Amino acid sequence: MGVGKSTVGRLLAERLGVGYRDTDDDIVAAEGRTIAEIFVDEGEAAFRALEKAAVRAALAEHPGVVALGGGAVLDADTRALLAGQRVVYLSMEVEEAVRRTGLNVARPLLAVNPRKQWRELMEARRHLYEEVATAVVATDGRTPEEVTQAALDALELKQV
């Protein structure tokens, strides 16, 4: 969360001359509610079901860059869908995470004690991000443009 998926995803799409899609945005648009509202109204499991469908649709319909929500990889079927795709795992350390997300209530899983929650989420998920990734790009101390270039290099893709 807050690592720069949306910022870098957009830049990457621009540099590759392809479209950009963000599954969090797709869910918000389809539901007419924020992610925080969906979590409060229906709980995380309901959000995950919407997310699973949104990722499947985005990967099937959209040939460009897709930014996934941070928890999408928790779903085994989603991980299977990512096999055979180019997948960039953008990483950062906890201090950078706190700087980038702050106490932003838009991220319900970080609403209380964000530093501790972020650490726990990463301990539970890091192996899943590594499992699906074909490239890992550290973002600490790099501008979004530098991260984008590092992703292009790691994927061995040339900008248009």
Ligand X SMILES: O=C(O)C1=C[C@@H](O)[C@@H](O)[C@H](O)C1
Q: Which residues bind Mg ion (CB under 5 A)?
A: 5-6
**CB-hemisphere CA count at 13 Å for 149?**
4
Residues that bind ligand X (CB under 6 A): 1, 24, 35, 69-71, 107-109
DSSP calls for 7-63: HHHHHHHHHHT--EEEHHHHHHHHHTS-HHHHHHHH-HHHHHHHHHHHHHHHHHH--
142 binds, among ligand X, Mg ion, ligand ATP, none (CB under 5 to 8 A by kind): ligand ATP
Residues 53-82 that bind ligand ATP (CB under 6 A): 70
Tell me which of ligand ATP, ligand X, Mg ion, none is bound by residue 139, counting a contact when its beta carbon lies within the kind-specific cut-off of 5 to 8 angstroms: ligand ATP
According to the annotation, is 158 in a ligand binding site?
A: no
Closer of 6 and 134 to Mg ion (Cβ): 6
Residue 3 interacts, among ligand X, Mg ion, ligand ATP, none and using kind-specific CB cut-offs from 5 to 8 Å, with ligand ATP
Q: Is residue 26 a contact partner of residue 33, using CB atoms and an 8 Å limit?
A: no
In 3D, which of 13, 54, 10 has the Cα closest to residue 31?
Answer: 54
143 is a contact residue toward ligand ATP (CB under 6 A): yes
7 binds, options Mg ion, ligand X, ligand ATP, none, Cβ within 5 to 8 A by partner type:
ligand ATP
Q: Which residues neighbour 54 within 8 Å (Cβ) at sequence distance 6 or greater?
A: 23, 26, 27, 30
Radius of gyration of the chain (CA): 15
Instruction: Compute the least distance from the CB of residue 28 to ligand ATP, in Å.
Output: 11
Q: Which is nearer to Mg ion, 101 or 149 (CB)?
A: 101
